[in-house]
Structure 1
């Protein structure tokens, strides 16, 4: 399961590539995330280890290849089901008059 920061970096990479047709530089990632360079590099390394991105030549971010742009369904945290105590909506007023 990805941390919030790793998920944020992955979404920035995915959206930046889609909008600007290039990947952000490390400096741009630090500005967009508000974190320092070592934190961004650690998140990128974690994304490589989890096989969300492929980045063999780490000299430039233009060499990144996104393998999966979204977090895997099996890794998402499952929220407990909450039973609703609300009554069903009465739409008669809007449909009958």
Structure 2
């Protein structure tokens, strides 16, 4: 199936994390508005609301990228 979410087992294999850790991270993603997850007994009910980081949450690049090289 195209664009299907991976199974919990696939996430465990690909990330090396256990079920508890994966569910914790999914709960955090839900709190931040990236996913909707009503039936927490499995992950097949997850709906992706926002696939990419919000622009304001991205880290801005350092303003002086050459400072390290010119100061040392």
Q: Would you say 1:74 and 2:56 are equivalent positions?
A: yes
Between Structure 1 and Structure 2, which shows a larger proportion of helix residues? 1
Q: What is the RMSD computed on CA atoms of the aligned residues?
A: 1.8
Deviations 1:36-58 (A, max 9, x none): 11111110000011110001012
What TM-score do you get using the length of structure 2 for normalisation? Answer: 0.77
Which gives a bigger RCO, structure 1 or 2 (Cα 8 Å, sep 6+)?
1
Gaps of at least 5 residues in structure 1 are 1-18, 85-97
Deviations 1:61-96 (A, max 9, x none): 221111100010101111212366xxxxxxxxxxxx
What TM-score do you get using the length of structure 1 for normalisation? Answer: 0.60
Gaps of at least 5 residues in structure 2 are 67-72
Match of 1:40 among 1, 5, 22: 22
Q: 1:56 — aligned with what?
A: 38
Aligned length: 66
